[in-house]
């Protein structure tokens, strides 16, 4: 009788220790807040160097955020989806209500509260027809927030 109890206790202990080691690990990342300046390095495509628009990012650990602002006479709409230590950032630039360009970063890694990086695609549209692409490119991107810049 005593032997059964010891064997059962041992099996239970092994099983429960195995289950706890299989639990997913939670990544804890620095908070993201402020306006980030991108640096794009061309990888492929025909857009060449692009005019980098600032990217406003709201703080928080997760969720979807939309931000709209005017820069250089253009309406900039930025959508950020934040989950864990990655962000998806999409930015649309309009001038006089006409889509000029889009930037899409489907998976940007959070390295610190001051730096993100990943690959982005950029599409510029013709001035006369926002459905017609003028150029398309893929870029390695680094987004940095200067010290003390927390405002949107």
Whole-prediction pTM:
0.74
Task: Return the closest-CA partner of residue 107 out of 77, 82, 70.
Answer: 82
pLDDT value at 149 more than 60: no
Alpha-helical runs (H) found in the chain:
2-21
Question: Residues 118-141: pLDDT tens digits?
Answer: 999 999 999 888 789 999 999 999
Alpha-carbon distances of 77 from 16, 25, 57, 58, 72, rounded to whole Å:
49, 34, 12, 13, 13
pLDDT value at 4 more than 70: no
Question: Residues 5-51: pLDDT tens digits?
Answer: 443 333 333 333 443 333 344 567 777 888 899 999 999 999 988 87
CA 79, CA 58: separation in Å to the nearest integer?
Answer: 10
């Amino acid at each position: 009788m005593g032997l059964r109890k010891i064997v059962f206790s041992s099996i239970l202990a092994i099983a429960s220790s195995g289950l706890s080691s299989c639990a997913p690990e939670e990544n804890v990342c620095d908070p993201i807040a402020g306006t980030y300046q991108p640096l794009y390095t061309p990888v492929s495509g025909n857009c060449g160097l692009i005019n980098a628009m600032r990217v406003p990012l709201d703080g928080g650990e997760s969720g979807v955020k939309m931000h709209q602002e005017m820069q250089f006479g253009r309406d900039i709409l930025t959508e950020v989806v934040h989950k864990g230590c990655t962000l998806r950032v999409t930015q649309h630039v309009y001038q006089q209500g006409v889509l000029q360009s889009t930037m899409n970063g489907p998976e940007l890694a959070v390295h610190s509260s001051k730096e993100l990086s990943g690959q982005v695609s950029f599409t510029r549209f013709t001035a006369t027809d926002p459905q017609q692409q003028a150029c398309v490119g893929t870029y390695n991107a680094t987004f940095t927030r200067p010290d003390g810049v927390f405002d949107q």
